[in-house]
Amino acid sequence: MRTQNLGYPRIGGQRQLKKANEQYWAGKINLTELNQVAQKIKEENWRTQLDAGIDLIPCNDFSFYDQTLDTSLLLGVIPQRYAPVLSQVKSNQEMDLYFAMARGYQKDGLDITAMEMTKWLDTNYHYIVPEFTAHQEFRIYTETVFTEYMSAKQLLGQKAKPVLVGPISYLLLGKEKEEGFERIDLINKLIPVYVEIINRLGQLGAEWVQLDEPYLALDLSKKEKEAFTLAYRNIADQVNGVNLLVATYFEALLDNTALAVSLPIQALHIDLVRAPEQLDEVLALVPDQLQLSLGIIDGRNVWKNDYEHSLNLINTAIEKLGTDRVIVAPSCSLLHSPIDLDGETALDPEIKNWMAFAKQKLNEISELKQIVEGNNTLLEINKKALESRRSSQKVHKQVVKNRVAAITDATRISAFPIRQQIQRARFNLPFFPTTTIGSFPQTEDIRQLRAKFKKGELTTDQYEQSIEQATIDAIRWQESIGIDVLVHGEFERNDMVEYFGEQLEGFLFTNNGWVQSYGSRCVKPPVIFGDVSRPNDMTVRWTKFAAAQTDKPMKGMLTGPVTILQWSFVRDDQPREVTTNQIALAIHDEVLALEAAGIGIIQIDEAAIREGLPLRKAKHPHYLDWAVKAFRVTTSGVADKTQIHTHMCYSEFNDIIEHIAAMDADVITIETSRSQMELLHAFAHFEYPNEIGPGVYDIHSPRVPSTDEMTSLLVKASDLLPAQNLWVNPDCGLKTRKWPETKAALENMVAAAKQAREQI
């Protein structure tokens, strides 16, 4: 039995790549220095994997920004608008073109937009979306895959295995930038380039090449399935002496199983963490010769592997295939895991003993191999750790479990029309009421303040006084420009999930558990390890303080359960919906506490509800069912006179509109300005009954929109939905903006609301 890895985090244990990239962009280091940092990270990663005894070690999994963008450059898929970059830039051409595609190019009189970025399947990692034209040509444009292989080979010898995004997934990850063709039809032109790349790698000495084809585990059209067969048949026919490994992950193969096992390849990788049940289905169909790579170590989470469970899977596979045809691996690339648990010296040792980061996961792979070969001690040690987690009182709180079990139907007291009447009488807001989404600019001063307080350099009094002052200033300013429903500004919050996680029981925070989100951006998600409960009020102090400063309504601001779940590492010992319900109950208690403190309007952000949608359509109804229900739990039994808002970031609502409506928030604010209110069509078509605030300006750029511009968006919105149900607000929170543009934009927004009141 052999072992392999599919990919390793490339940001470096101390986020060296982030720092080096940002220095390079700022002109503080040169390309040679940037390359040195990269080379060091690669070599360290390869050594770590070599030391762990992994048999097939990935290379070309490194990327300065994103592996899909690397693939675009490798294949020469470079949108025409970047041509001027090449003629302007004299040195570092390739690297500067690459970063221009990733980040846009505003220099030397050029102003070229970046390529679109979107989430990599159902992860929080973002990739750069390839852009295809009808007459798209492909050719080998960069040599990096070959140079990286040569460098890996020096260190790893025959263990070095180049990784490529597979041709079908590469096309499907992209977008047509012109009418009149389907990108999947480009496959015929793409195949010869893949053949050339793989053959060149073979000539350089590569025995194996890994082709990532996550789309093989997704819903595919007939045409896409045919393209898979065609592509791999052609590649296999023309490639000499290189073994092909196709890697699938994040879902089961399901209806694509027969297709996947019939591809003329040497090995197939399947995700047995997400879908352990697919092992039997695959084994039943697997042809002679095909090797199977079992993805049994969770590449997406931070928990120790259950060796006993894994052994069952491995032994089932070995019985059918023999040891020679079984490979043990993580479920997917370890890109999505934090790097090294050893660095976490502040963690509770009992809980730390239940966890594994990327480096520890490599070790688990090699331990599993040793156990298969008869090492029982390792199995016993693992059993003990798991047993300690299973029975720990740090994890299990009977009171919480009982409360979740007792959840029945969660609803508001009266139906929306009744609530709307009561709330209208209570708040007496003007037509087109104005509000914002919650946060105001997080200036360097504010960040410093929180950082100093955390380090103990400020007393609680000093810290709170400064936050109070920032809050008062924000309130006075909102009053002065005439905003109708105020917010306190979220100055006390570092992050909308972390702020709650830090106050809830069942969460822990790491010091260095960073994961790449996009480019040089990394996130450090909280870890939910136990039953979640809320020992104390979380937001009442600041909301009450803010409300007391003004006669206008002050909106309380909470993060919803699905969003907290979605942006954390979650428990793998119970279904996601159970964890979500536990969080929902905690948020529910906070809603009641705010209500009792006299707060009349409470917003519960569910920024991430859409992104939690499972990859396979058949699973959507179940997810939406429990996600919506969890939101309803947070507002269950809340008084009719309390107005519940929710907020969602940019997302397509067409296919989920009935579920959004079922959340039954009194007011929903959504991001719509970049789409010129097009996203509202789903709401209009559905005749969405509750109140809604379609964002009238894009908060992602410092640009200040004019009053007329926003008025016309409001007019557009009132053509689609009843004007008396419309609110006026920006697309999202303003924490990444600076004050000058925020002030100018919001003043114009209030003026636009006034204009619209007169026009409609």
Q: Where in the sequence numbering do the catalytic residues fall?
A: 700
**Distance (Å, rounded) from C-alpha 326 to C-alpha 3?**
9
Output 266 or 563, the one with its CB closest to ligand GLN: 563
Say whether residue 649 binds ligand GLN (CB under 6 A).
yes
Cβ 307 vs Cβ 367: under 8 Å: yes
**How is residue 592 written in tokens?**
């009641």
Instruction: Please list, in sequence order, all residues whose beta carbon lies within 8 angstroms of the beta carbon of residue 760, skipping any fewer than 6 positions away.
Output: 431, 714, 715, 718, 723
Pick from ligand GLN, Zn ion, none: which does 438 bind, CB < 5 to 8 A by kind? Answer: ligand GLN
| Residue 332 annotated as binding site | no
Cβ 480 vs Cβ 472: under 8 Å: no
**How is residue 113 written in tokens?**
């937009």
Buried b (16+ CB within 10 A) or exposed e, 611-620: bbbbbbeeee
Query: Which residue of 607, 609, 613, 670 would you call a contact of ligand GLN, by CB under 6 A?
Result: 607
Q: Which helix (H) or strand (E) holds 132?
A: strand 131-132
Pick from Zn ion, ligand GLN, none: which does 359 bind, CB < 5 to 8 A by kind? Answer: none
Pick from Zn ion, ligand GLN, none: which does 669 bind, CB < 5 to 8 A by kind? Answer: none
| Residue 636 annotated as binding site | no
Type of residue at 115: M
Closest CB 645 distance from Zn ion, rounded Å: 12
Type of residue at 122: D
Going residue by residue from 422 to 461, which x/- string records binding to ligand GLN, judged by CB under 6 A? ---------------xxx----------------------
Say whether residue 562 binds Zn ion (CB under 5 A).
no
Output 218 or 607, the one with its CB closest to ligand GLN: 607
Closest CB 454 distance from ligand GLN, rounded Å: 20
Output 131 or 605, the one with its CB closest to ligand GLN: 605
- Chain center to CA of 113: 23
CA angle, 653 as apex, 649 and 659 as ends, to 5°?
Answer: 105
**Distance (Å, rounded) from C-alpha 432 to C-alpha 211?**
53
| Residue 522 annotated as binding site | yes
Buried b (16+ CB within 10 A) or exposed e, 548-587: ebeebbbbbbbbbbbbbbbbbbbbbbeebbbbbbbbbbbb
Q: Which helix (H) or strand (E) holds 244?
A: strand 243-247
Stretch that binds Zn ion, among 391-399, 493-501, 636-644, 649-657 (CB under 5 A): 649-657
Cβ 620 vs Cβ 393: under 8 Å: no
- The residue whose Cβ lies closest to ligand GLN is 733
| Residue 59 annotated as binding site | no
What is the rounded radius of gyration, in angstroms, for the C-alpha atoms of the chain? Answer: 27
Query: Which residue of 647, 688, 692, 695 would you call a contact of ligand GLN, by CB under 6 A?
Result: 647
Say whether residue 570 binds ligand GLN (CB under 6 A).
no
| Residue 178 annotated as binding site | no
**How is residue 756 written in tokens?**
């619209």
Instruction: Please list, in sequence order, all residues whose beta carbon lies within 8 angstroms of the beta carbon of residue 419, skipping any fewer than 6 positions away.
Output: 412, 640, 641, 643, 666
Cβ 326 vs Cβ 317: under 8 Å: yes
Closest CB 496 distance from ligand GLN, rounded Å: 5
- Chain center to CA of 120: 8
Closest CB 609 distance from ligand GLN, rounded Å: 11
Going residue by residue from 594 to 633, which x/- string records binding to Zn ion, judged by CB under 5 A? -------------x--------------------------
Query: Which residue of 735, 746, 749, 753 would you call a contact of ligand GLN, by CB under 6 A?
Result: 735
Buried b (16+ CB within 10 A) or exposed e, 197-228: bbbbbbeeebebbbbbbbbbbbebeeebbebb
Going residue by residue from 481 to 500, which x/- string records binding to ligand GLN, judged by CB under 6 A? ---------x-----x----
Taking CA atoms, 150 is separated from 43, 153, 280, in Å, by: 12, 5, 38
Stretch that binds ligand GLN, among 167-175, 228-236, 501-509, 727-735 (CB under 6 A): 727-735
Pick from ligand GLN, Zn ion, none: which does 439 bind, CB < 5 to 8 A by kind? Answer: ligand GLN
**Distance (Å, rounded) from C-alpha 705 to C-alpha 696?**
9
Output 500 or 688, the one with its CB closest to ligand GLN: 500
Say whether residue 733 binds ligand GLN (CB under 6 A).
yes
Taking CB under 6 A as the criterion, which residues in 15-34 touch ligand GLN? Answer: none
Output 279 or 660, the one with its CB closest to ligand GLN: 660
Closest CB 612 distance from ligand GLN, rounded Å: 14
Count of residues that interact with Zn ion, criterion CB under 5 A: 3
Pick from Zn ion, ligand GLN, none: which does 291 bind, CB < 5 to 8 A by kind? Answer: none
| Residue 649 annotated as binding site | yes
Taking CA atoms, 646 is separated from 136, 323, 430, 560, in Å, by: 43, 53, 20, 9
Going residue by residue from 727 to 746, which x/- string records binding to Zn ion, judged by CB under 5 A? -----x--------------
Output 73 or 496, the one with its CB closest to ligand GLN: 496
| Residue 331 annotated as binding site | no
Say whether residue 557 binds ligand GLN (CB under 6 A).
yes
Say whether residue 649 binds Zn ion (CB under 5 A).
yes
Output 23 or 651, the one with its CB closest to ligand GLN: 651
* Nearest Cα residue to 485 out of 443, 546, 540: 546
Count of residues that interact with ligand GLN, criterion CB under 6 A: 13
CA angle, 678 as apex, 672 and 680 as ends, to 5°?
Answer: 70
Stretch that binds ligand GLN, among 332-340, 458-466, 714-722, 728-736 (CB under 6 A): 728-736
Closest CB 734 distance from ligand GLN, rounded Å: 7
Pick from Zn ion, ligand GLN, none: which does 735 bind, CB < 5 to 8 A by kind? Answer: ligand GLN
Taking CB under 5 A as the criterion, which residues in 432-471 touch Zn ion? Answer: none
Instruction: Please list, in sequence order, all residues whose beta carbon lies within 8 angstroms of the beta carbon of residue 584, skipping any fewer than 6 positions away.
Output: 561, 630, 631, 633, 634
* DSSP structure string for 608-622: TTTTTS-SSGGGHHH
Instruction: Please list, in sequence order, all residues whose beta carbon lies within 8 angstroms of the beta carbon of residue 90, skipping any fewer than 6 positions away.
Output: none
Say whether residue 247 binds ligand GLN (CB under 6 A).
no
Stretch that binds ligand GLN, among 90-98, 188-196, 534-542, 729-737 (CB under 6 A): 729-737
**Distance (Å, rounded) from C-alpha 465 to C-alpha 453?**
12
By the 10 Å C-beta count (0-12 exposed, 13-18 middle, 19+ buried), 265 is classed as: buried
Closest CB 645 distance from ligand GLN, rounded Å: 10
| Residue 447 annotated as binding site | no
Instruction: Please list, in sequence order, all residues whose beta carbon lies within 8 angstroms of the beta carbon of residue 376, skipping any fewer than 6 positions away.
Output: none
| Residue 674 annotated as binding site | no
Say whether residue 699 binds Zn ion (CB under 5 A).
no
Closest CB 607 distance from ligand GLN, rounded Å: 4
Say whether residue 668 binds Zn ion (CB under 5 A).
no
Residues annotated within the binding site for 5-methyltetrahydropteroyltri-L-glutamate are 18, 119, 124, 521-522, 567, 611
Binding-site residue positions for Zn(2+): 647, 649, 671, 732
Annotated binding site: 18, 119, 124, 437-439, 490, 521-522, 567, 605, 611, 647, 649, 671, 732
Residue ranges that bind ligand GLN, judged by CB under 6 A: 437-439, 490, 496, 557, 605, 607, 647, 649, 732-733, 735
Residues that bind Zn ion (CB under 5 A): 607, 649, 732
- Which parts are annotated binding residues for L-methionine? 437-439, 490, 605
